[in-house]
Every structure is written in C-alpha cells, then in structure tokens.
Amino acid sequence: MELQFIGHSCFIVSHNNFKVIMDPFISGNPLTTLKVEDIKVDAVLLTHGHSDHTADALQIALQNQCPIIANFEICSYFGSKGATVFGMNIGGCNTFRWGKVKFTPAIHSSSLDTEQGPIYGGVAGGILLTMGDKTFYHVGDTALFSDMKLIGELHDIHAAAIPIGDVFTMGPEDALLAAQWIGAKTNIPVHYDTFPAIVQDAEAWVAAVNAKRLHGICMHPSDRYIVD
C-alpha cells in the first residue's frame, strides 16, 4: 500500500493498479498544487460532510465514473447530484474490488453546504481502509475518545492519520494519546497548517510520538510513503 498525502486530510491510497482518494480537498486547499482534473481514482471515500473533506468529491467521482463511499446521508446528497454512491454507516464494513472499508466512530459534526444552506450530513466517522494486506486508519475529524483503544486492539493497523490541528479536532496533546491508544505502526499528523486557526508544529508532534517509542512521520503535501 502506498499513501500519497495531498495536504490537510486528503490522501490518495494505492495498491497494485487501484487508487482511491480520501477526503478530497484540492480546490481551495492552499497546501496543494494538484489539479482536480488530473486525479484518476477507482473510488472517493469521505469521512464526513464538511467542505474541507468533500470539496472535490463530486467532480472526481463524475470524471472517473467511480463511486462516492460515505455515510448514507452524504451519499443521498451526492446521489441526487448524479454521482454513483455506496452508502454505509458507522460500524459497517464492505469489500470492494480494490479493498475493504470499515466506518469507525468519530466525535465531530457533519453537514453539507447547498444553495439552500447547510443540510444534515449524517454522523461523522473515520475509515479503516485495507488494501492488500495493509490497513490505514484515517481517523477523520474527531475529539479524543477512549474507544480508539478498542479500534487499535481489534485491528492490525499499519498506518494512522491523526488530526493535530486543535480548535476543530484534537490538538497535539490529545492526538499523542490517540497515537498511543491506536498503536499503529506509523503515525501521520494531519489537519494542521491549512488555515491560521490550526497552525501546529507537526515536527514537534512527531518527535513526541517517537519519544513514546512509537513511529511518527511528517508527510509534506505530495509526499509518498510505502506502508509496510
């Protein structure tokens, strides 16, 4: 499995000839120079409805004729806009030709902006994505919650993307506990530096993770990392 970090909470995850994009936020994301029209993927995965996670979901799904996989309410919305969708919900798991998706809980909100104002976006979640024999836990936007210990115990997690930005999600201290509780082999800080409110010292967080005898890496936008 290879992770390509796009900035904020967006990753392109690939294995063999398959690619999926998680939480596409490209147009309007100051951290990436990627062009939405260049993205070729087999699926679009969304942890929750907020524009810094869903901004380019519809365009990417339509241009690739690939499904959006998200909670039921987000799928209802994008389905009404012409996308192919596969609605799921927290705790649910499904196997696709390119891998397996399991939705995990998150403590956060979820809504979608429309011309008529914001609409209900179901419950915010995280995603355990397995491709080949590796599992990537995209924690999503969330507060620290103690069931992260259970998620870590029940799954063999090779890499975890953990928000450290504070204000809208966990900050660095809680995120350090999250890394310890999840126990992933590699920990990647996300959801920081995109906006002034969430500027953080990611290198310091990674150093704190490594000081706990865990493994952390700082990925800069467009960096690739082979999960092993």
Which residues of the chain form contacts with Ni ion (CB under 5 A)?
A: 50, 141
Q: Are 200 and 170 in contact (CB under 8 A)?
A: no
Q: Would you say 32 or 54 has its CB closer to Ni ion? A: 54
Using CB under 5 A as the binding rule, whether residue 52 contacts Mn ion is answered as yes
Least Å from the CB of residue 54 to Ni ion: 9
Q: Which stretch binds Mn ion (CB under 5 A): 34-42, 51-59, 61-69, 85-93?
A: 51-59
Least Å from the CB of residue 141 to Ni ion: 4
Please pick, from the candidates 56, 141, 166, 174, the single residue that binds Mn ion as defined by CB under 5 A: 141
Using CB under 5 A as the binding rule, whether residue 174 contacts Mn ion is answered as no
Least Å from the CB of residue 138 to Mn ion: 12
Residues 58 and 79: their CA atoms lie apart, in Å, by 9
Residues 75 and 192: their CA atoms lie apart, in Å, by 27
Q: Would you say 108 or 134 has its CB closer to Mn ion? A: 108
Near Mn ion in 71-130, by CB under 5 A: none
Residues 56 and 60: their CA atoms lie apart, in Å, by 6
Least Å from the CB of residue 142 to Mn ion: 10
Using CB under 5 A as the binding rule, whether residue 23 contacts Mn ion is answered as no
Q: Would you say 52 or 174 has its CB closer to Mn ion? A: 52
166 binds, among Mn ion, Ni ion, none (CB under 5 to 8 A by kind): none
Q: Which stretch binds Mn ion (CB under 5 A): 24-32, 46-54, 152-160, 192-200?
A: 46-54
Q: Would you say 134 or 141 has its CB closer to Ni ion? A: 141
Q: How much is the CA Rg of the chain, to the nearest whole Å? A: 16
Q: Which residues contact 45 (CB under 8 A, 6 or more apart)?
A: 20, 21, 22, 23, 69, 70, 101, 127, 129, 138
Least Å from the CB of residue 50 to Mn ion: 5
Using CB under 5 A as the binding rule, whether residue 56 contacts Mn ion is answered as no
Q: Would you say 8 or 102 has its CB closer to Mn ion? A: 8
Residues 155 and 9: their CA atoms lie apart, in Å, by 21
Q: Which residues contact 15 (CB under 8 A, 6 or more apart)?
A: 1, 2, 98, 99, 131, 132, 134
Residues 178 and 144: their CA atoms lie apart, in Å, by 6
Closest alpha carbon to 198 in 29, 69, 47:
29
Residues 182 and 156: their CA atoms lie apart, in Å, by 10
Applying CB under 5 A, which residues contact Mn ion?
A: 52, 141
